[in-house]
Amino acid sequence: MSLDKSSCALLRYLIRLKKPETIMAISRALQQSRRKIYYHLDKINSSLPKEVESIESQPRVGILLSPEQKAACQVLLDSLDSYSYIMNMNERIQLMMIYICITTERVTIEKLMELTEVSRNTVLNDLSEIRSQLAKEQYKMTLYVSKSQGYDLNCHPLNKIQYMHSLLYNLFAEANEGFLKVLETKVHAFPGCQQLLSMAVTHFLEGQVYRLEKDLGKKINRYEIEFMLKVLPYLLLSYRNMVLDQEEKDSIIKDFSLIRKRIEYKITQNLKQALEDSFAIGLDEIEVSLIAILLLSYRKDKDIHVTSQDFADLKRVVEQFIWHFEVHSSFELENKEELAQSLLAHCKALLFRKTYGILSKNPMVKQIQDKYSTLFRMTKLSARLLEEEWKISLTDEDIAYLTIHLGGALRRSGSRTENSRKVYLICDEGVAVQKLLVKQVQHHLPGKLVSGIFTTEQFKSVEDLLEVDFLISTSEALETKHPLIQVHPILDFDDVLKLTRFAKYRFLADDKRGFSAELDKLLAAYIPDGKTAQELKQRLQSLVTNELLASLSDAEVETDLY
């Protein structure tokens, strides 16, 4: 019996279990019937090696994998190839759109059937759904079919590139490993795509990052540059897929006129020459400009050019924003000159993103809205000044990034320094998030001295020289001999409990399920509707959090730094 998508979902769930769970609890968590769970469990057992004990649910106890079973299940999961993975409709649509956007061959129903491995009727239904989705998008694109070209998109060339960037952003942020393996396998077989998507070009571009940043005098956020390296070949192929006359090309070049005065454009010319010398890949003026736009649009952790005279007006607006925030809120800011510099670097990239429609999502926006509701609201109020001055519209994700910068500069009051011990933080999320993490830790561990904050790379270079009480890291992959607590960049309730417990008792209960997971399990037993249960969970956590903060320090509550 072969494992399908639902079987793999159960397999992943069982591997993650740290406490026994009943079939009923598992069926609720995976939103499948108990009969289906037993069915997929039989399929998993039949796929395991004979020497591994079958996975059985113990009466009144449930299922918990032994170390041997867990290891065998992980090997089984890792061995599944693209042919074992069944795509859902959304994944098929994403794959079809990437194919239509970048392939050089004529797109037909038969080729889409071969690509997605489904029937003709299913492909036709998917194409109908694509048309419906495109009609709701902001990119003004329509899907049409002709005898000469097959299925293609009718739209402005820049709209197509913006759509492709958005599609890939959502895909790489949300897709599971199974679908990403399918995508990689199939895309590399598309006609005309092999060279730009080859491992040789990928490794070459990775090697160019340090040189680009050195020449730019800027440090691009690590996650943003990793994403750029993933999507750049797709964006270039999306442009090369279009048939444009000279007049259309001239119009696009004119649209890119803003970036030709920037240093990113000059540096991209060097990259163009390097690609031509190493792989005989030639870039035209539009492709050079496209790469420069990406470099301009992505968030920077460091920018030595923020004090240049051509950004004097930008600096004036940023300083007005900081002033407005302080005047209209009860918060106090410190190190305002440093805050202005970091906000200026952030807003430079923000304006280029808004100008050229380059999507940059904030994965922490919901957490920030929940945990820093007052700070977020006040930031949003002051951000209206930016919108009016720059004639832009800021999303909640944009506001959340501004909130992070302001949160990292809040002044603390009534802090205690007794029994100080050395605590180091490790965070790869960027300078703004690092500053906010420091403020959170100082708030919840007022008796601890935060002696420094590093990226993983920086920490590894000085690890042997540090005298450490314990480490706090936002990275799951960090390995160290020192006591380590792994937390989220925006501390949740479980993180706070871990920090306070360890700081007081030198004990981290790794074997216990977190408060949030236990609450999920408890509510699921009484409230079958998942949405209602989640709403109640958020209210309960907010209530408990407020009580905890009140007991820790009444004076600190006003800072909203939970």
The per-residue pLDDT for range 230-252, each reduced to its tens digit, is 889 999 999 998 888 899 999 99
Structure pTM? 0.64
Predicted confidence (pLDDT) at residue 194 exceeds the cutoff of 90: no
Same domain, 233 and 258: yes
In a domain, 521, yes or no: yes
Closest CA relative to residue 440, chosen from 545, 310, 513: 545
57-81 pLDDT, tens digit per residue, is 998 889 999 999 999 988 888 776 5
- Residue that terminates a domain, selected from 252, 277, 298: 298
- How much of the chain is helix, strand and coil, in % rounded to 5? 65, 5, 30
Query: Which structure tokens are listed for 100?
Result: 């239509």
Residue carrying the six token digits 């720059």: 390
The Cα 251–Cα 244 span in angstroms is 11
Give the pLDDT of residue 273: 92
User: Which of 146, 166, 187 is the last residue in one of the domains?
Assistant: 187
Is residue 18 classed as helix, strand or coil in its secondary structure?
coil
Are residues 228 and 161 part of one domain?
Answer: no
- pLDDT (0 to 100) of residue 545: 60
Is 192 part of a structural domain of the chain?
no
Q: Grade residue 420 by pLDDT with cuts at 50, 70 and 90.
A: very low
Answer yes or no: do 403 and 456 share one domain: no
Cα–Cα distance between 9 and 341 in angstroms, integer?
Answer: 46
Check whether 556 has a pLDDT greater than 50.
no
- Kindly report the CATH number assigned to the domain that includes residue 10: 1.10.10.10
Query: Which contiguous run of DSSP H or E holds residue 426?
Result: strand 422-426
Mean pLDDT score of the chain: 84
Quote the number of domains for the chain. Answer: 5
pLDDT in tens, 274-327: 999 999 999 999 999 999 998 888 887 777 766 666 678 888 999 999 998 987
Residue 221: closest CA among 295, 308, 165:
295
- What is the helix (H) or strand (E) element at residue 562, kind and residue range? none
Could you say which of 407, 437, 456 is where a domain stops?
407
In a domain, residue 392? The reply is yes
At 462 the pLDDT is 84
User: How far apart are the C-alpha atoms of 92 and 117, rounded to whole Å?
Assistant: 9
